Structure 1
Amino acid sequence: MGSARGAGETNTALAAVILETGRSHAALARKVNELAALQGVVTRYDKASVTRWLQGMTPRDRAPEFIAAALADFLGRPLTPVDLGFSEQPQRPVVARALAYREDVGETLHTLAELGSTDISRRSLLGAVPYIATALMDPQRQWLLWLLEAEQTPRLEVVAGSGPVQQVQAMIEMFDEMDNRFGGAGVRASIVHYLSTELTPMLQQRNLPTHQRRLLYTSAAKLAAMAGWCSYDSADYGLAERYMIQALRLCAEGGDRVLGGQILAGMSHLATSLGNPAEGVSLARAGIATAKSAGSPLGLMRLHAMAARSYAILGDSRQATASLLAAGKRLDVSQGPAEESPWVRFLDHHYLEAEAALVHRDLGEAAQAERLAMASVEANSDRRRRQAISRSVLATAFLQQNRLDEAVGTASNAVDLLAGVHSERSVQALRDFRARLAPHRGEAIVRDFERKARPILGTAA
């Protein structure tokens, strides 16, 4: 473990870890800049910056978090800024505990209640909440062990019930509707408050009937996963990771394999979007193993689509294409949303079109990306977040075909759609497009777009 140092004192802990990675100072600086950009932070570090860190300078703001994440990615094990000799961040112990998949579900409930209450009421006490890619490895392993040991469960979990179960289900539906209409940032606090102050105490009661308790655990897992997605949509990636890990543990207690697969799909999406596509593939495959005998073709369709997304970013065209084909086959055998678990009824062929458009974009297959993104835009006229993301993909497809005017016009429409919608995923999709405009910044139409988009996207790197 590292320790805080005085100003100007050589950072031997950081030096030792950099030496262990075998990477150059320039490679570390590039990785830090990439990870920061994925979280909407513009940094311009270079090899001289790394030298200054080694000489004892502590970088500002969230930089120690990004340095730790970069080095952890190189080594394949978790690291914190403290491990690298930087001063300890003002962080509550619950931030570390929430990365663990606990065997005792009572500890999970306690962790979730404390994390939620601190998140909502005393946010400043959380301090920095870093996203740590390698922290997803143990929860994935623990889940797969549970899967091997668990008794056979019904093909589809029954999620209906009476009394408190019905009430919780109604709340989930209401939160879901608000999320779709206004974006995750607008509803996140309400979900976390309900989960930590209403549902968690309910599960801590000792006199609940077994069947009802299982259904409530499943509902709590769904709400924790929703809190994770909404945190993701608010660019709180470290919190998103922690809520998803706790959701997976609660899901094991409820025994719902369809929902477990969907939580793993969310983890895969998060890992891939934050620059860890290999981990994204692993999480998607764990989800496929979870859901393959759960009677949910739509759930499997989404998991194969997540694998395709990860393979595309890795540049593996063969595996990405195979995963898309597998997703299409699962969609073909589904009897429709009404015959599936409520957890996957939002999935349909329009969802697959949107995800496939992203895959083809990342593989550089512009014509296919254009066709699918256009279909997604037309199908999602009432969902501004999905519209904005699909228009960003469509804009990139136009750009890849040297159709600059159409590209910028489409992206400009996406910016207009984000008025009143708080969605960092939509913003990141547009930032990705803006970065691709760099070779064209001499064009007046591009400068006009960048001025228009700056209030929403921030300053370009």
Structure 2
Amino acid sequence: MATVSDGQPRSPGKGPAGANKALSAALRDAGCSYASLALRVNELGRRQGTDSNYDKASVTRWLNGQQPRGNTPELIAAVLSERLGHAVSPTDLGFLPDQQRPVVGRALVYREDLADTLHTLAELGSTDISRRSLLGAVPFVAGALTNPQRDWLLWLVEHAGDHDVTHLAPVTDGGPVEQVHAMISMFDQMDNHFGGGGVRTSIVHYLCTEVVPMLQRRGTPPHQQRLLYAAAARLAAMAGWSSYDAGEYGLAQRYMTQGLRLCAEGRDRVLGGQILAGLSHLATNLGRPDEGVALARAGIATAKDSGSPLGLMRLYAMSARGHAARGRSGETAEALKLAEQQLDASRGAAQESVWVRFLDHHYLQAESALCFRDLGLAAQAERTAGESVDANADRRRRQAISRSVLATAHLQQNRLDEAIGTATKALDTLSAVHSERSIQALRDFRKRLEPRSHEPLVQEFERRSRPVLGAVA
């Protein structure tokens, strides 16, 4: 773990006469004290692999014009974005830009300028692959989720009367759209089998070096161009999901945000809803279930007239996940009921958009099990997680997560032997899957073992799991 203490020397001319007025104004508007800013920056940094010891004296130096080291300006911007309720970049806060910061800041924004979106996506992918100037983790910024929701919903209202929604039946013309769909299918198979961490770089490379240049060429027929934009949006969402699965939460947020903008060019409301579902999942799992519910609601508004019951089923499930994380059992039950109704309304995968054909009863079981776990409904969690485990032998990531939920359900019913046995099977599955989401689910189970840490069975599981899950925090 990297350790950070002080920043770089002031640039010539900095000091009291050149104090950082932008940072001072942001602190004042956010009602944020020097000490609380420093504490939150340290906390956020530790989550992302940087051990810092900033204090209120550090903040005073920043206000006097000192440039913090590494990715600390991004962390400061993330903290103040949360407090202010809207996205601010390091440059907005008066920090000197470097090669990395412009694209990391731009990629959080849903922009009207399509050429700028394509340039941002290509630059983000290039920087990501080469790790050029990516100093530490790129932070997840909860406050930046508002902008894409607002601009997407404004687009939705402006195109409310359109009847040219793309449902994207399989393309068979042998052209570039069919080729991109074939690559998407291959990436999907690899992701399901090995986890997002194993395929992430390939997705990003293909999107940014092959597909974005296709979109920048002139002369493509309009219908084919629209299909290409939708396929690119799907790839950007996949880059986001695979980044999420690799523990790169800030990159996941940025790829999904840019994917949502491309989705508007593709006029694909089904896919737009699914990208919002991905952002909802990310927000809820990172401790912002309020944002998770809001994003799911935006997705429901997007997909309600798209002719995709399966897409709506997933969005109601994401709404349920957010409500469950907040301990709201009534709202969770209502959202799961609506998800079941949409599942029953579907006429089968073949009648749905290609983007949601993987969704089925077993998907809803797995998400419901997580809701029941979070609400402490152990018997219901055991039943649904057990059914999910049995149904998903070929989907290792989903099976690993459901096994962890099942282990928690056993533990909640004071059946320690069964809990440890099930968790051990989940641990064995993780040896073949590179998935941070699966690891986090098992860490959640391990944390629940802490009150029984004196028992030999628990101690043995902790010893066996340490190489995969890391040491107990």
- The TM-score with structure 1 as length reference comes to 0.89
Deviates more, 1:12-21 or 1:326-335: 12-21
Q: Return 5+ residue gaps in structure 1 as ranges.
A: none
Q: Secondary structure at the match of 2:434?
A: coil
Correspondence for 1:253 among 241, 250, 265: 265
> 1: CA distance between counterparts of 2:93 and 2:7?
9
Question: Which residue in the other structure is 2:407 paired with?
Answer: 395
> 1: CA distance between counterparts of 2:55 and 2:466?
30
Correspondence for 2:254 among 233, 242, 257: 242
> 2: CA distance between counterparts of 1:230 and 1:439?
34
Deviates more, 1:212-221 or 1:108-117: 108-117
RMSD between aligned residues: 3.1
Question: Which residue in the other structure is 2:438 paired with?
Answer: 426
Equivalences for residues 189-338 of structure 1 within 5 A: 189-338=201-350
1:411 aligns with 2:419: no
Equivalences for residues 145-156 of structure 1 within 5 A: 145-150=154-159, 151-154=161-164
Correspondence for 2:167 among 135, 157, 162: 157
> 2: CA distance between counterparts of 1:290 and 1:388?
31
Equivalences for residues 121-160 of structure 1 within 5 A: 122-128=130-136, 129-150=138-159, 151-154=161-164, 157-160=167-170
Residues 222-244 of structure 1, C-alpha deviation per residue, up to 9 Å, x if partnerless? 00100010011111111111110
> 2: CA distance between counterparts of 1:86 and 1:104?
26
1:350–1:369 distance in 2 versus 1, CA, 3 Å: same
Give the residue type in structure 1 aligned to 2:109.
A
> 1: CA distance between counterparts of 2:329 and 2:354?
33
Please report how far the alpha carbon of residue 133 of structure 1 lies from its aligned counterpart in structure 2 after TM superposition: 1.0
Indicate conservation of the 8 Å contact 2:107/2:121, yes or no.
yes
Residues 112-170 of structure 1, C-alpha deviation per residue, up to 9 Å, x if partnerless? 111112222x2132334211111111111111011111142356523433211111111
1:103–1:42 distance in 2 versus 1, CA, 3 Å: closer
> 2: CA distance between counterparts of 1:86 and 1:444?
52
Please report how far the alpha carbon of residue 357 of structure 1 lies from its aligned counterpart in structure 2 after TM superposition: 0.5
Q: Secondary structure at the match of 1:126?
A: coil
> 2: CA distance between counterparts of 1:165 and 1:85?
44
Please report how far the alpha carbon of residue 110 of structure 1 lies from its aligned counterpart in structure 2 after TM superposition: 1.3
Q: Secondary structure at the match of 1:422?
A: coil
Indicate conservation of the 8 Å contact 2:407/2:445, yes or no.
yes
> How many matched pairs?
452
Indicate conservation of the 8 Å contact 1:100/1:139, yes or no.
yes
Deviates more, 1:101-110 or 1:340-349: 101-110
> 2: CA distance between counterparts of 1:42 and 1:393?
30
Please report how far the alpha carbon of residue 16 of structure 1 lies from its aligned counterpart in structure 2 after TM superposition: 7.7
1:96–1:373 distance in 2 versus 1, CA, 3 Å: same
Equivalences for residues 55-94 of structure 1 within 5 A: 68-79=77-88, 91-94=100-103
Indicate conservation of the 8 Å contact 1:231/1:239, yes or no.
yes
> 2: CA distance between counterparts of 1:406 and 1:153?
53
> 1: CA distance between counterparts of 2:41 and 2:84?
13
Question: Which residue in the other structure is 2:127 paired with?
Answer: 118
Residues 63-109 of structure 1, C-alpha deviation per residue, up to 9 Å, x if partnerless? 77556544533442335567779887762421111112111211111
Question: Which residue in the other structure is 1:369 paired with?
Answer: 381
Q: Secondary structure at the match of 1:125?
A: coil
> 1: CA distance between counterparts of 2:123 and 2:59?
36
> 1: CA distance between counterparts of 2:424 and 2:50?
22
Please report how far the alpha carbon of residue 259 of structure 1 lies from its aligned counterpart in structure 2 after TM superposition: 0.5
- The TM-score with structure 2 as length reference comes to 0.87
> 2: CA distance between counterparts of 1:19 and 1:217?
39
Q: Secondary structure at the match of 2:132?
A: helix
Q: Return 5+ residue gaps in structure 2 as ranges.
A: 1-5
1:407–1:53 distance in 2 versus 1, CA, 3 Å: farther
Question: Which residue in the other structure is 1:382 paired with?
Answer: 394
1:362–1:87 distance in 2 versus 1, CA, 3 Å: farther
Indicate conservation of the 8 Å contact 1:305/1:323, yes or no.
yes
Q: Secondary structure at the match of 1:130?
A: coil
Equivalences for residues 23-102 of structure 1 within 5 A: 29=39, 33=43, 39=47, 50=55, 53-54=58-59, 68-79=77-88, 91-102=100-111
Give the residue type in structure 2 aligned to 1:197.
T
Deviates more, 1:432-441 or 1:285-294: 432-441
> 1: CA distance between counterparts of 2:421 and 2:73?
38
Indicate conservation of the 8 Å contact 2:403/2:422, yes or no.
yes
1:49–1:116 distance in 2 versus 1, CA, 3 Å: closer
Give the residue type in structure 2 aligned to 1:178.
M
